[in-house]
Structure 1
Amino acid sequence: MDTVNHRLPLPYILCIIACFFLGPPENAISAERTTYIVHMDKSFKPESSTTHKHWYSSIVDSLNGDKKSSFLAGRSFTTTPSLQYTYDHAVHGFSASFGLEELENLKKSPGFVSAYSDKTATVDTTDFLSLNPFTGLWPASNYGEDIIIGVLDSGVWPESESFKDHGMTANIPSKWKGTCEEGQEFNASLSRDTNGHGTHTSSTAAGNYVDDVSYFGYAKRTARGVAPRSRVAVYKVSWAEGEYASDVLAGIDQAIADGVDVILISLGFNDAPLYEDPIAVASFAAMEKGVMLSSSAGNHGPGLGTLHNGIPWVLTVAAGTMDRSLAGTVILGNGLTLVGFTFFPGNATVRDLSLVYDKTLSACDSSKLLSQVSPESIVICDETWPVDDQIRQVTAAQLAGAIFISNSTQVGYFTCPGAVISPKDAYKVIKYVESSENPTVSIKFQETFLGAKPAPLAAVYSSRGPSPSYANILKPDVMAPGNLVLAAYVPSSPAGVIGTNELLPSNYALKSGTSMSCPHASGVAALLKSAHPDWSPAAIRSAMLTTANPLGNTKNPIRDYDLEFASPFAIGSGQIDPNRALDRGLIYDATPQDYVNLLSSLNFTRNQILAITRSEAHNLSSPSSDLNYPSFIALYDNQMTTSRVQKFERVVTNVGDGAAKYKVSATAPKGSEVTVIPETLVFLNKYEKQRYSLSIKYGWDIRGRVSFGAIIWVEENGNHTVRSPIVVSPVS
């Protein structure tokens, strides 16, 4: 990537590779001008232009009109077109600011494909994966040694202990083509992480080992990333002003050129068609280069159709809870003891304080009402208001603390002493208060318990499928731990708050979101890439999908936040299982041409397809909407009045040690019938391919319902099982 103005790729090198894009975005600096991303057909580059940058610069220069200057909010700017980035790997084209007249003139330029305005993205902000130093994926991959993970985020805090180089190989891998610089030109104030998001995601994916890490006494452990011997190249694309498509394109463009193996991006663009989604466009080029891109599903759940990054050629990751409980033990005056949820960061003492339950103020939605209670009291807050809001009101009332009744653990900051207890436990507490003359309570803080059940649960905030950008591929793909993940943080930003204004810094913080689940999956992808360097991104994704666990730690199906069984729209194939993904019997592979065939089947124009593929070298004459994907989704119209059959064709590749025989087992979605032909697949050799068809028959009586099932290919000797989820859903 070449840059113009002052956003320069001046990277910083630590034990790992950390790259930054300097300078905040200047998008929408004038009401008269808008930043556009322009796609060009590179075959039109004239011989007189020595480089693509020269060609694009000459195009922009030719659009320059009268030089004028103006002022906006005290800042001067020029009204001539301004080139921002040029792209040559993820896409062919550039980003620049234009007026409407200049944009119309640009469209007349030879080689013009398309242009659309810059977009803003939304950031999706114990070992529960059973990784073992003696067996499985860790030793098989040598902990991901020298795999390079490109992280597109808010930067990194290079001084963090998680980024020290002890145990790393001495030399940067020769495949790394980037330039990392340290010294006078490195402007720490512009390019380092200031909000902690990039530091948290990077260290989750590939942070080194750090002993005795905790969040103010909670979750004390040895911190490490999923792939602790991988290297990290961090591209700053998130700024205080926002996350812009032009920056994301520039980051992926540079990451491809630099030679990364896996790209981690925990942000996304809502409501963007594939041909205008910078992640979809740039990840196509990454996929062609063999680079795996792992993305977050978004934090707009639990409604259906809310996810972003539902892109056929990337991995889309949902978020779930862990079996670790951050706890506060509630001890009533009668001796009854309950374990509540809390991560109040202070070393508080709540001992034999008065416990108050007053229905006139138990909603805890007014600090004015709560102030009527003695400040040395602990109040009980009913399940009538979000816990986050109740905590704020109790804090503002300056009470000694509270007990919150809720099944939710979605809390930003625990600013007052208190604990969350479940509604089923609340009855005992309220009964004690109402039957006692002088009810009291004590609370112990800074406790951590393992083995919480049921776990994992689908996180309530995790965005659900089907994918708005392309609903005929089942998304999300998998679920990974995303709730209250402990990882490295920036000491310049508060990790905790006590009261209304006491800010607490920490080098490690607890964060929740699909931003936190995506790095777990990215780390697993890095480990698989190290263990199987010849696998394509589709093969790695297939291994993760077909081995994901649909069962929780109670050996029952994973449940949603409301304790109903979770559908694949919430969890994909299930919780990622790294060790099973290592030894994969069958994989569903896909080539770039397969994705082009899919694009050709859509109602896209030639230029819209070209914006994604960048080249007409691909064959557009073989449209097929039936991608060789390791999951199935049948969409129906709620107005249907007769039965319908939808058929899928799949090809599986034997990546086991040799000859193998598999038989299929099918669990049909409720109200449907599933037929698989043939029911047995016989492989004589490794890498041999076999084809099968799957048909789903469903009738009008399922209208309005989402139902789901699965097929499992079981090897005759029991060594491998290959599972694919099935969903039948209304289009809406």
Structure 2
Amino acid sequence: MTGASSPYVSLSRAAPCSSDHPFLHPKMDSRRSQGRQCSPPRLVHLVASAVLFLCVAATPAASHHGSGPDTGVHKNYLVIVRRPYEYDTNLYKNVSSWHASLLASVCDMAKEALDRDPASVTRLLYSYRNVVNGFSARLTTEELEEMSTMDWFAKAYPEQTYQLMTTHTPTMLGLMGGEGRDGGGVWNTSNMGEGIIIGVLDDGIYAGHPSFDDAGMSKPPEKWVGRCDFNNTVCNNKLIGARSFFESAKWKWKGLEDPVLPINEGQHGTHTSSTAAGAFVPGANISGNGVGTAAGMAPRAHIAFYQVCFEQKGCDRDDILAAVDEAIEDGVDVLSLSLGGTAGADFSEDPVSLGGYTAALNGVFVSTAAGNIGPNPGTLANGAPWLLTVGASTTDRRFAATVKLGSDDELDGESLSEPKDYGKEMRPLVRDVGDGKCTSESVLKAQDVAGKIIICEPGGGVSTTKAKTVLKAGAFGMIVVAPEVFGPVIIPRPHVLPTVQVSYAVAQKIKSYIQSEKSATANLLFKGTLFETPRSPMMAPFSSRGPNVKSRGILKPDLIGPGVNILAGVPGVVEMESEPNAVMPKFDIKSGTSMSCPHLSGIAALLKNAHPTWSTASIKSALMTTTETTDNTKKPIADVDGTQATYFATGAGHVNPKKAMDPGLVYNLTAADYIPYLCGLNYTDQQVNSIIHPEPPVNCDKLPNIEQKDLNYPSITILIDKADSVVNANRSVTNVGEARETYIVEVEVPKSVTVEVMPEELTFKELEEVLNYTVTVKAASVPDGAIEGQLKWVSKKHIVRSPILILPGSGEDDTTAEAPEPSAEP
């Protein structure tokens, strides 16, 4: 769920092996790659025609033994074939055979083996047919140099690793009705995502979790053609598919041997899958907190799981691309990708952008995580406009605990470490005499901490490890200080001794008391789960922020959703100590945009079920134009420093599923509409064609390019680069509300600019009617910074809101914020 790196990793020559595969699907025309010397690549084959962060059909081809020694140092590369080069169906039985012949032209291969099986070329990992015009392979530097001289060769990208970026949120979001912001409830209309397939790309899934029970589930729709690499007793009508993609990753990591089933003891994939579409599970809780019936956003939707990430190892680009291609052919409706790369990744190189475009081309909605390296600006990943980019917010639930000082002051915090029979006795309160972080066993002596409560500063490691260290020294309890950047947001974890986690500001009061009192004392009071959060939702401190480095004229993130302290399914709580033979808890809280992304994936499934004819852009528009911009106190959503959160943090605002079901108007786009936008970004023809593959190649010089401001996006961003500017932005809206409905425009902007809209009134006479309008921005001077406003189309029944963002600059890549390291866990 953090930014990605792109190392050049040296890999040794593979050893011979058997190419048989135990999970061969009958529809495949050749064998799946083992990634070794004799291994086949996986052919990516579709009939038609994408950062964890804490949000990518394969017909494999074979490979053969080379005719001579192969002693070079290999690296994995994604090789793009120049458009319009295509394979001759009279010479090659499929695209994999053609890619194999291209690779064989520069590799040390036996010609007779190639003639015998054109698809069996050593070191070909994946042969893509939809997401890109190309293949991934293991090549030496010399082979790559020779390949670059070929007419068909366009570019090669070295391997790149990407990273992974509930019982209450259905109620908070108004899905259940009765307690949401608007009463009623989306589920009350008998829409729980029935018949919708959500494809989740992540690090593994615990298939036996109760969230994946299929009681009451119907069979998957007939369009589903995917497969399950578990045995038949594991997959069911809820978890209908499970695959593993690791041909690229296994060359870097020992232990990823074929077959790798899509299961592990990791937490992330189970958590995100159950958040998106987990079944109803009564009695879910963590350490007795958050007790309730757990459910995903679309509890009757089907889940297809694609393992592309591996715990502590990340997610390889080529594996992500292969999984997206497979998922599209399998028949998924929604893709949930809680993963991503670095801020400002080129759309033509990024697997989420490439796969996401192909998904949009096939009517598949893609929800992605914005990233977890906020709150610094310009840190956002997954910025392509055809993706839904989701930031993270807090919820209105907290796991309340209090530090009671000897001065009788009571200071609020949170805890998941509530002990039994804790007592009311005040105990000595001390600080770590070392660096204050409670990380050194040699410093934490029993005579200093035994039987006492110790306060531990942030940094130096995770708090659960610190808890074990202070417990070993004999401490009775612990107070954990959150990093200052987290503001009032606390992310509690279960600890091995009584622990209260407090904000940085609260900690300063506790430390002042210790300094002023020679015999400081304290007690820890545990209050359980409360729904009395002073202000919610609030921005999550870690949520990555805009501006959108690669396309400043498109506001990102698109919106925010719940991503802090989300309770969802896990194989077991990693940090929790349990008695021998005790049943491990099956739910845990996690935080990150990886958690907000599947919330939106599930909500998108509900919209797709309610409106099966809507395009992916229409679904995104409905989500964005109906958001909430205020919190539970009716004040603007706040950032962690107490100031009003900017559009670079919130995007259009906080998701409101009920309103999104009936948005009134939508801003529609087809996949083809993004082509003139890409040309307007000054991408080369080759870059554009790589993105839009398998659509026919285009020549940007022959197309009417459009500027970013004129892409028919639900948010409006205007760039001003000189004084006395007058800039027009054009939009089209489609009527999906009442057959006959009139909308009046309302504009709110600061006095430093003038914004006019023509026409000021839109009258629709039928459904699906499209009307146009123009926004004119007049600025006497170049803005000093971002200017925020909003445009609303208001009828008797609907309010269709778009953020207006006015920025200084020309729209080129002139925002170069450095991406910081991810925020440390408190």
Answer yes or no: same fold by TM over 0.5.
Answer: yes
Q: Deviations along 1:92-135, whole A, 9 cap, x unmatched?
A: 322111123322443455654433222110210x1221112684
Shift of 1:453: 1.9
Cα distance, 1:435–1:54 mapped onto 2, change above 3 Å: closer
| Counterpart for residue 70 of structure 1 | none
In structure 2, what is the Cα distance between the partners aligned to 1:221 and 1:326? Answer: 14
In structure 1, what is the Cα distance between the partners aligned to 2:164 and 2:748? Answer: 37
| Counterpart for residue 451 of structure 2 | 376
Q: Deviations along 1:214-244, whole A, 9 cap, x unmatched?
A: 1111211111100000000001111244311
SS of equivalent to 2:325? helix
Task: Give 1:137's aligned amino acid.
Answer: V
Could you tell me which of 285, 289, 302 is aligned with 1:214? Answer: 285
Q: How does 1:68-87 map to 2 (within 5 A)?
A: 82-87=123-128
SS of equivalent to 2:425? strand
| Counterpart for residue 324 of structure 1 | 397
Q: How does 1:336-485 map to 2 (within 5 A)?
A: 337-344=410-417, 347=420, 349=422, 351-356=424-429, 363-364=436-437, 367=440, 371=445, 373-380=448-455, 385-386=458-459, 393=466, 395-397=468-470, 398=473, 399-404=475-480, 407-410=488-491, 414-422=495-503, 440-445=521-526, 447-485=528-566
Could you tell me which of 284, 300, 311 is aligned with 1:229? Answer: 300
Q: Do 1:547 and 1:581's aligned partners in 2 also have CA atoms closer than 8 Å?
A: yes
Cα distance, 1:118–1:434 mapped onto 2, change above 3 Å: closer
Shift of 1:439: 5.3
Cα distance, 1:523–1:113 mapped onto 2, change above 3 Å: same
Cα distance, 1:159–1:31 mapped onto 2, change above 3 Å: farther
Task: Give 2:147's aligned amino acid.
Answer: L
Cα distance, 1:437–1:120 mapped onto 2, change above 3 Å: closer
Structure 1 residues without counterparts, runs of 5 or longer: 11-17, 23-28, 68-79
| Counterpart for residue 129 of structure 2 | 88
| Counterpart for residue 173 of structure 2 | 129
Tell me the percent identity. Answer: 36
In structure 1, what is the Cα distance between the partners aligned to 2:538 and 2:565? Answer: 13
| Counterpart for residue 658 of structure 1 | 739
Q: Do 1:307 and 1:464's aligned partners in 2 also have CA atoms closer than 8 Å?
A: yes
Could you tell me which of 652, 670, 686 is aligned with 1:591? Answer: 670
Shift of 1:581: 0.1
| Counterpart for residue 754 of structure 2 | 673
In structure 1, what is the Cα distance between the partners aligned to 2:509 and 2:99? Answer: 71
Residues 1:565 and 2:644 are matched in the alignment: yes
Residues 1:179 and 2:227 are matched in the alignment: yes
In structure 1, what is the Cα distance between the partners aligned to 2:227 and 2:584? Answer: 32
Q: Do 1:405 and 1:422's aligned partners in 2 also have CA atoms closer than 8 Å?
A: yes
Shift of 1:427: 7.7
Residues 1:523 and 2:632 are matched in the alignment: no
Q: Do 1:341 and 1:409's aligned partners in 2 also have CA atoms closer than 8 Å?
A: yes
Q: Do 1:654 and 1:683's aligned partners in 2 also have CA atoms closer than 8 Å?
A: yes
Shift of 1:9: 8.6
Residues 1:486 and 2:567 are matched in the alignment: yes
SS of equivalent to 1:144? coil
Farther off after superposition, 648-657 or 351-360: 351-360
| Counterpart for residue 806 of structure 2 | 728
| Counterpart for residue 76 of structure 1 | none
| Counterpart for residue 345 of structure 2 | 272
| Counterpart for residue 35 of structure 1 | 76
Cα distance, 1:290–1:157 mapped onto 2, change above 3 Å: same
Farther off after superposition, 656-665 or 88-97: 88-97
Q: Deviations along 1:446-485, whole A, 9 cap, x unmatched?
A: 7110131211111111111112222221000010101111
Q: Do 2:791 and 2:801's aligned partners in 1 also have CA atoms closer than 8 Å?
A: yes
Could you tell me which of 603, 606, 613 is aligned with 1:534? Answer: 613
Shift of 1:495: 2.7
Farther off after superposition, 108-117 or 434-443: 434-443
| Counterpart for residue 45 of structure 1 | 87
Q: How does 1:586-625 map to 2 (within 5 A)?
A: 586-614=665-693, 615-616=695-696, 620=700, 621-625=703-707
SS of equivalent to 1:634? strand
Cα distance, 1:207–1:676 mapped onto 2, change above 3 Å: same
Residues 1:251 and 2:309 are matched in the alignment: no
Q: Deviations along 1:596-615, whole A, 9 cap, x unmatched?
A: 11011122211111111113
| Counterpart for residue 13 of structure 1 | none
In structure 2, what is the Cα distance between the partners aligned to 1:669 and 1:39? Answer: 47
Q: How does 1:87-126 map to 2 (within 5 A)?
A: 87-107=128-148, 109=150, 111-124=152-165, 126=168
Could you tell me which of 695, 713, 718 is aligned with 1:629? Answer: 713
SS of equivalent to 1:419? strand
Q: Deviations along 1:126-165, whole A, 9 cap, x unmatched?
A: 1221112684422446200010001111121110000000
Task: Give 2:287's aligned amino acid.
Answer: F
Q: Do 1:147 and 1:530's aligned partners in 2 also have CA atoms closer than 8 Å?
A: yes
In structure 1, what is the Cα distance between the partners aligned to 2:326 and 2:282? Answer: 34
Q: Do 2:439 and 2:461's aligned partners in 1 also have CA atoms closer than 8 Å?
A: no
In structure 1, what is the Cα distance between the partners aligned to 2:231 and 2:742? Answer: 59
Q: Do 2:437 and 2:460's aligned partners in 1 also have CA atoms closer than 8 Å?
A: no
In structure 1, what is the Cα distance between the partners aligned to 2:464 and 2:731? Answer: 52
Shift of 1:297: 0.4
In structure 2, what is the Cα distance between the partners aligned to 1:31 and 1:201? Answer: 41
In structure 2, what is the Cα distance between the partners aligned to 1:9 and 1:110? Answer: 25
Structure 2 residues without counterparts, runs of 5 or longer: 1-27, 36-40, 44-55, 61-69, 111-120, 179-183, 233-241, 244-257, 483-487, 809-813, 816-826
Shift of 1:20: 12
In structure 2, what is the Cα distance between the partners aligned to 1:255 and 1:236? Answer: 11
Higher strand content, 1 or 2: 1
| Counterpart for residue 14 of structure 1 | none
Q: Deviations along 1:380-437, whole A, 9 cap, x unmatched?
A: 45xx745966775565243222334553414566454221345666687678767878
TM-score (norm 2): 0.77
In structure 2, what is the Cα distance between the partners aligned to 1:30 and 1:203? Answer: 46
| Counterpart for residue 333 of structure 2 | 261
In structure 2, what is the Cα distance between the partners aligned to 1:104 and 1:379? Answer: 60
Task: Give 1:473's aligned amino acid.
Answer: I
Task: Give 2:198's aligned amino acid.
Answer: I
Q: Deviations along 1:684-729, whole A, 9 cap, x unmatched?
A: 11111111111233354732x23322111111x1x11011112233
Farther off after superposition, 438-447 or 113-122: 438-447
Residues 1:165 and 2:165 are matched in the alignment: no
Q: Do 2:33 and 2:42's aligned partners in 1 also have CA atoms closer than 8 Å?
A: no
SS of equivalent to 1:695? strand
Cα distance, 1:9–1:519 mapped onto 2, change above 3 Å: farther
In structure 2, what is the Cα distance between the partners aligned to 1:628 and 1:221? Answer: 42
